[in-house]
Structure 1
Amino acid sequence: MSPEQLPETTLTKTDFKLFLECPREFWLKRYHPEQIVTPIDAHGRYLIRQGYEVEREARALIAREFSVDALESQYTVTFENLLARFDILRMNDDGTVAIYEVKSSKHIPRLESAKSKREKREKNLYDLAFQVHVARLSGLVVSEAFLVTLDGDYVRGEDLEIEKALHFEDVTEEVTGLHRDVQLKVSEAMSVLQNGPGDGFEGLCKAKLKCAYFVFAQPELPETTIFDIPRISDKRIESLRRQGVLAVEDVPGSADLTGTQMAFVEKCKNPPPRMVDIHGISAILSELEYPLHFLDYETVNPALPKFRGMRPYEQVTFQYSVHVVESEGSEPIHYEYLSDGTGDPQSDLLKGLREAIGDAGSVISWNKSFEIKQNELLGRLFPEYAEFIDSLNARMFDLADPFRLGLYFDPAICGWSIKNVLPVLVPGMNYDDLDIGGGAAASALWYMDVFEGTEDKQERMKQLREYCSQDTLAMVKIFEVLR
């Protein structure tokens, strides 16, 4: 049954997942999808294909393990207004079934201590619990339920050993224990579909009043509200609401807020003017030594590692751009590398990078922690370059610091992303005319060109070079303004 054929009140796993995250957006997507559904971009297509690849490998492994020619893929069952479509369904000889929920994410242990990871594991369990709930209502006898994830500690050898890369976890007992809660939440979801989510501000999702539902249903809401105040408690929210306060601008000076919270309120009420700390900027720029090397990487992190020595989701560096300024006032010289997909790109990349950067002069990047982390990974993979990489990291300088630290403040700059800073400091220079406008798109397009093949690969390679080169040239221009 295709999505357009589903009854208006049909509930799928995807619907149920969205309901748990935000009942308001769940309702909005059902009745006003144009307000929330956006076209899938290159990065979105890449993520979907990563999921399909992991599912395909899991299905083949299960088929081999149980000596079956085929498994039920996307097997669908319904019960009243509930629909479940399974990633993998294994039919057993005794008439029971085993359900596999495949997640192209890393395995999270049952006793994980980090709250964010525990919450992610719980979401995965609820996904599977919904599937099992509907399966049993439809008449299937579910004997086993598995979460299939990636083993984050797996290190690839010459070949991919999928039986080591995947982690199968029997969670039958856990999802069965969620049966009653799933049943209640399904009823709540149906009630929201039939009656709407309500007009109050209770039970907000992480987006708070920036949620797409409020943008649609209450467009008159203030742009910045008391819900945007950092770390504000429900008790303080309730106190302000009793006073009729919603907009941050209306928060009284006597409000019971922390110093940090009140500073946020005052900044919203009286936005600071443009401010440039010339001496502060000069002080940090004085650390730089010529020649200056403006460096940017492009990377991609496939779910299943493609090259020897790599783990699931580790970043593969496939491209660099370097603009070198030999001395003050000299014109930048450009060096670049872009892998065509022949073998592991990172060995050739390091060879070219060492020739372009050498052992002297500062190395400038935007948000240097990323480049440093990639360099450390490259050093682990290619120990023969360890000395060069140590030198590289010791010479790194972050050109975003003047903006991140507030030494250069301009209300026209929204955040400190290079794409936001560039057009303000260098009018007329931006990313608008490039075919590739962001790093996520660049990595996705390179991956699909190299591992899946496209007819316009050569044109895409040209676009990738233009995008990466723009990043380092932008840093050169921003540096010239700061200097």
Structure 2
Amino acid sequence: MNNRSGKLLTKSKFMAGLQCPRYLWFYVNEPQRLPPPDMVTQHTFDQGHEVGELAKQLFPAGIDMAGLGFREMLTKTSACLRERNPIFEAAIQSGQLYARIDILSPSADGTWDIVEVKSGTSVKDENIADVAFQRYVCTQYGLRVNRCRLMYLNREFIKHGEIDPAELFLDTNITEEVAELTGGMADMVEDMLLTMAGTPPDPIISRACNSPYTCPLKNECWQALPENPVTGLYRIGDKIDGLLRRGITAITEIPEDFELNDKQQIQQHCIRAGQPHVNIREIASFLEQLPYPHYYLDFETFATAVPRFDGTRPYQNIPFQFSLHITADEKSPLEHHHFLYQGNADPRPEFVSALHSAMGEGGRVIVYNQSFEQKIMEELVAEFPDYREWVTDVVARMADLIIPFRAFHYYHPAQQGSASLKYVLPALTGIGYDRLNISNGQIASLKYFQAAFGNDTPAEAKTALFEDLLEYCGQDTEGMVRIIEVLRGLVADSNSTNDMA
């Protein structure tokens, strides 16, 4: 084991190294090059901390190492190991290997259980790798590990009053899955230690840049890609690595012998031609299924790992805002209704009441990506059964505006392989989101949650944020109105051309 840097390989660095050697090198040697956690990442950390605190309640005799300094944590962990107490955030070091164990619990015959706590709702491959590293460090230190366990959130848990952690969590034995990685762990660790001590590896662009998480160096490494790169090809999946290995980086460079599906061929053709693809017959057929009046509807929601309100599950989307644009017919003026809950309690009662009052009868309720709004509506029924008949009617009248774009009946090169409203709207109408203070639903959700349920947002900042939210959500629904107008125009122009012919 030569050419070592002497720096510690922690479990977070180990996970970075599994994703990308270059990421590991900068994490260890030039951490200042990594951007600080964004709002979404920080929220994930905060949610994980809340989940971890609840899990500790299941080990009432546990001794907590959190908040101690590095040396003190190691010393106190060693003492607790001798006393056979459950340990929270146990600090284990063996040479250059270091791991903090969420919960190290005494087990049979002097052994220990490693208990990893996650804020997800299933066992993931990266969870197994994470625990496998912890087990390796523990065994190198001299601990005898009995079981490896993963505690994660029970997606079927429904809050009723004070939360019982025993019901909130599922506890799964992952010892066998961890053991499958044990044989290769020594080689993986050695490779990472050598990487840490060497020179920075060259960028490697692959699916790993986004899996299991988006690498913080992605934007830097991807700068060399050309316009319309193969990474933006519609649902390219695992084929992307094969193209990149062949040195093919632009969609226009993809050779004829590489199999593309129909939608990918349309995308490639549009880029080469610099023109959109328009299937007038299918667009006209879609529009014929939209009798007036039109109700253009969009929701904004937030979700938390630990449910806040009775009757809700982990990560259930809680609606706090809607925008509703209404057109009685093609020539009628646009009517706008909106709702934004500004309290700090459960927003759903006022939300569903306001939406019921604003929504008319007949016609079509036009949404973008129907499964989202439909699920929110159906979940409201569970808590507010008096609205069941009305919700059933609204869902039955829904029409999904994503359909012609997901089917590539219309595709513009500026969509970059996406059928998302955030790409379709500017490509089709020129109306973008860059000018808005809030430009996507995830940021809208997090900023609202912080303002509504945090304690450090000044009143003036709240007022400004709520105005930004109204503008953002309103653009989504008005944007759908403009998309329909453009599609109708395309059909009308085609009919005029045919009549002249």
Aligned pairs for 1:292-441 within 5 A: 292-414=294-416, 415-427=418-430, 429-441=431-443
Q: Is the 8 A contact 1:98 1:142 kept in 2?
A: yes
Say which SS state the counterpart of residue 57 (structure 2) adopts: helix
**Partners of 1:391 and 1:18 in 2: CA distance:** 49
Q: Which amino acid aligns with 1:423?
A: P
- The residue aligned with 1:188 is 191
Q: Which residue of the other structure, out of 40, 43, 63, is the alignment partner of 1:43?
A: 40
Say which SS state the counterpart of residue 297 (structure 1) adopts: strand
Q: Which amino acid aligns with 2:92?
A: V
Q: Which amino acid aligns with 1:301?
A: A
Say which SS state the counterpart of residue 320 (structure 1) adopts: strand
If the length of structure 1 is used for normalisation, what is the TM-score?
Answer: 0.80
Q: Which residue of the other structure, out of 478, 481, 491, is the alignment partner of 1:476?
A: 481
Q: Is the 8 A contact 1:77 1:138 kept in 2?
A: yes
Q: Which amino acid aligns with 1:104?
A: S
- The residue aligned with 2:137 is 134
How many pairs align? 456
**Partners of 2:453 and 2:318 in 1: CA distance:** 13
- The residue aligned with 1:102 is 117
**Partners of 1:223 and 1:430 in 2: CA distance:** 20
**Partners of 1:308 and 1:214 in 2: CA distance:** 40
Say which SS state the counterpart of residue 86 (structure 1) adopts: strand
- The residue aligned with 1:16 is 14
- The residue aligned with 2:160 is 157
- The residue aligned with 2:492 is none
Say which SS state the counterpart of residue 419 (structure 2) adopts: coil
Q: Is the 8 A contact 2:56 2:62 kept in 1?
A: no
Relative to structure 1, the CA distance from residue 145 to residue 373 in structure 2 (aligned partners, 3 Å threshold; closer, same or farther) is same
User: Offset of 1:205 from its aligned partner?
Assistant: 3.0
**Partners of 1:218 and 1:397 in 2: CA distance:** 37
Relative to structure 1, the CA distance from residue 8 to residue 455 in structure 2 (aligned partners, 3 Å threshold; closer, same or farther) is farther
Q: Which amino acid aligns with 1:51?
A: G
Q: Which amino acid aligns with 2:446?
A: A
- The residue aligned with 1:87 is 102
Please tell me whether residue 463 in structure 1 is matched to residue 463 in structure 2: no
Q: Which amino acid aligns with 2:45?
A: I
User: Offset of 1:259 from its aligned partner?
Assistant: 6.9
Q: Which amino acid aligns with 1:314?
A: Q
Relative to structure 1, the CA distance from residue 259 to residue 317 in structure 2 (aligned partners, 3 Å threshold; closer, same or farther) is closer
Relative to structure 1, the CA distance from residue 201 to residue 123 in structure 2 (aligned partners, 3 Å threshold; closer, same or farther) is closer
Decide which moves more: 452-461 or 369-378: 452-461
RMSD across aligned positions (CA): 3.8
Relative to structure 1, the CA distance from residue 305 to residue 211 in structure 2 (aligned partners, 3 Å threshold; closer, same or farther) is closer
- The residue aligned with 1:54 is 51
User: Offset of 1:363 from its aligned partner?
Assistant: 0.6
User: Offset of 1:245 from its aligned partner?
Assistant: 7.0
Q: Is the 8 A contact 2:62 2:88 kept in 1?
A: no
User: Offset of 1:474 from its aligned partner?
Assistant: 1.8
User: Offset of 1:369 from its aligned partner?
Assistant: 1.9
Q: Deviations over 1:362-384 (max 9, x none)?
A: 11111122111222222233222
Say which SS state the counterpart of residue 436 (structure 2) adopts: coil
Decide which moves more: 379-388 or 438-447: 379-388
- The residue aligned with 2:497 is none
For structure 1, the residue ranges without an aligned partner over 5 or more in a row are: 1-6, 109-119
- The residue aligned with 1:113 is none
Q: Which residue of the other structure, out of 159, 167, 170, is the alignment partner of 1:167?
A: 170
User: Offset of 1:103 from its aligned partner?
Assistant: 0.4
Q: Deviations over 1:78-134 (max 9, x none)?
A: 2221121222345789976543311001144xxxxxxxxxxx2x3212212212322
Q: Is the 8 A contact 2:206 2:241 kept in 1?
A: no
Q: Is the 8 A contact 1:236 1:256 kept in 2?
A: no
**Partners of 1:380 and 1:438 in 2: CA distance:** 28
User: Offset of 1:250 from its aligned partner?
Assistant: 5.4
Decide which moves more: 437-446 or 273-282: 273-282
Q: Which amino acid aligns with 1:100?
A: V
Q: Deviations over 1:34-56 (max 9, x none)?
A: 66x33323222221111111001
Say which SS state the counterpart of residue 308 (structure 1) adopts: coil
Q: Is the 8 A contact 2:270 2:412 kept in 1?
A: no
**Partners of 1:203 and 1:144 in 2: CA distance:** 35
Q: Deviations over 1:325-357 (max 9, x none)?
A: 223222222212222344322222111111111
Decide which moves more: 210-219 or 184-193: 210-219
Identity over the aligned pairs, expressed in percent? 32
Q: Is the 8 A contact 2:298 2:322 kept in 1?
A: yes
Decide which moves more: 412-421 or 228-237: 228-237
- The residue aligned with 1:76 is 91
- The residue aligned with 1:112 is none
Relative to structure 1, the CA distance from residue 89 to residue 341 in structure 2 (aligned partners, 3 Å threshold; closer, same or farther) is farther
**Partners of 1:46 and 1:213 in 2: CA distance:** 20
Relative to structure 1, the CA distance from residue 283 to residue 174 in structure 2 (aligned partners, 3 Å threshold; closer, same or farther) is closer
**Partners of 1:464 and 1:226 in 2: CA distance:** 34
Q: Is the 8 A contact 1:232 1:261 kept in 2?
A: no
